[in-house]
Structure 1
Amino acid sequence: MAILRHLMDPLLRLSEWIDTLSDRVGQGLRWVALLLVVVGVVNVIGRYLGAQLGMQLSSNALLEAQIQAFAVIFLLGSAYLLRHDGHIRVDILQSRFGPRLRAWIELLGALMALIPFCMVMLIYGVDYVARAWSRLEVSPNPGGLPLYPIKTMILIGFSLLLLQGVSQAIKAAARLRGKRA
C-alpha cells in the first residue's frame, strides 16, 4: 500500500492528461457533428430538388459520408461521454449508494469490464483494420467511399476509451484512498 501512496500523485497527473485528451477530442467532434448536419441537409435538398428537376442530385457517397461521420462521433465520442459521466447507469441503485461504494463499483467496473473489453476489441480489431488497409477496402455500393479509414476509427476509438477507463479507475482508487480526484 505504501507503493500506491507514492504512485498516486503521478497517476493522478496521468489521469488529468487523459481527461484533457478526451475533452479535446470531444470538443473536436463538434465539427464532425456540424459536417454531419451539413451533409445531411445537402443530401435531402439534392434528393428533393433532383426529383423536381428529374435529375439525380444525391449520391451513395453522401449517404455513406453521413453514416461515417456518425460512426466517428460514436467511436471517438465514447471516451468523452465516459469522462463526463454521460453513459447509462442504473441510477435507481447508484443514487442510494454512498461515495465509497460508488468508487468501488467504478473501480471494479473499469478493471473487470471496461478495460478488458477494450483490450479484446483492440486485439481483434488490429487484424480487421489491417485487412481493410491491405485491400484499400471500398464500399461495394456504386460511388461509395473507402472503408479502411473509417475502420481505423475502431482502433482509435477503443484506444481512447481504454485510456479513459484507466483514468476513471485511477480517480476511483484515489477517492478510495481519501484523495480528491
Structure 2
Amino acid sequence: MNLLLLFSRGVDWLNAFIGRYAIWLIFVATLISAVNALVRKLLGVSSNAFLEIQWYLFAWSFLIAAGYTLLHREHVRIDVLNSRLPKKVQVWIDIVGFALFLTPLCLVIIYLTWPVVLQMYQSGETSGNSGGLVRWPVWLAIPVGVTLLMLQGWSELIKRIAFLRGQGPDPMGRLSQATAEQELAEALRQQTQEAQVSQQLAQGPQPAAGQQPQS
C-alpha cells in the first residue's frame, strides 16, 4: 500500500504542477487574440494561423488541466443523494465510479485518438483554412489530457482505498488552494481580532448595569 500511496503522491504532484502553469496558455492565447485584432484593425491584415493557434492553446489548457480539476474536486456535480449518505458509502461510490466508469472511458478515448494523431503526424495533415496549421498538435491534447485525467482517477482511487483501510486521511474534503488575496485577507482578519482582544484586555472588565464603580 505504501508503494501505491507513493504513486498517488507523484500523480498529485504532476497534475498540480501542470495545473498551475496551464493558465499561462490562456494568457498567451488572449495576448495573441489581442495582437491579431489590433493588426487586423490597424493594418487590415489577418492570419488564419493566429486564429487557429488561439484554439490550439485553449484546447491544451483545459484538457491538460482535467487531472488538476479532479485533484481539487472542482468538476461539475449534480449531487441529489450522494451528499446525504454516510462517508464510507460516498467513498465506495467514488471507487466504483473511478474503477468501472472513468478508467474504461479514458482507455477507450486514448485507444481511439492515438491512431488519429499518428496518422495526422505522418501525413502532415493541415487545416482546411488557407494558411492554417498542421492538425496533429491539437489532436495530441486529447490523449495527453485524458491520460492525465485517468492517472488522477487512479490516484483518487488509491486514496479512497487507503482511507477505508485506515491508512490515509479523508479524501472527500476539498484541498486548500487559497490565493494570495485570500491569504492576505485572512491575515488581516486575524490581526483585527487580535487587536480587538488586546483592546478589551487593556480596558479591563466593564461594570455591570446598575452597579457603581468602586472607588
> Shorter-normalised TM-score: what interval?
0.7 to 0.9
- Per the alignment, residue 5 of structure 1 pairs with none
Please tell me whether residue 151 in structure 1 is matched to residue 151 in structure 2: no
Please tell me whether residue 39 in structure 1 is matched to residue 32 in structure 2: yes
1-structure distance, mates of 2:135, 2:49: 11
Normalised TM-score (structure 2): 0.74
- Per the alignment, residue 7 of structure 2 pairs with 14
Greater helix share, 1 or 2? 1
Deviations along 1:112-171, one digit per CA (max 9) or x if unpaired, are 110101111111112111111111121111111111122122221111111111101111
Higher relative contact order (CA 8 A, sep 6+): 1
SS at match of 2:81: helix
Larger Rg: 2
Q: CA-atom RMSD, angstroms? A: 1.4
1-structure distance, mates of 2:42, 2:82: 51
Greater Cα offset, 19-28 or 37-46: 37-46
1-structure distance, mates of 2:95, 2:42: 54
Read off the aligned partner of 2:9 and give its amino acid letter. Answer: E
Please tell me whether residue 141 in structure 1 is matched to residue 134 in structure 2: no
Read off the aligned partner of 1:104 and give its amino acid letter. Answer: W
2-structure distance, mates of 1:104, 1:88: 19
Deviations along 1:34-66, one digit per CA (max 9) or x if unpaired, are 10111121122233334xxxx22x211111011
1-structure distance, mates of 2:100, 2:136: 31
C-alpha displacement of 1:94: 2.9
Q: How many residues align?
A: 169
1-structure distance, mates of 2:85, 2:47: 52
- Per the alignment, residue 172 of structure 1 pairs with 160
Provide runs of 4+ in structure 1 moved above 4 Å: none
- Per the alignment, residue 100 of structure 1 pairs with 88
2-structure distance, mates of 1:78, 1:46: 34
2-structure distance, mates of 1:40, 1:102: 44
Read off the aligned partner of 2:167 and give its amino acid letter. Answer: K
Read off the aligned partner of 2:38 and give its amino acid letter. Answer: I
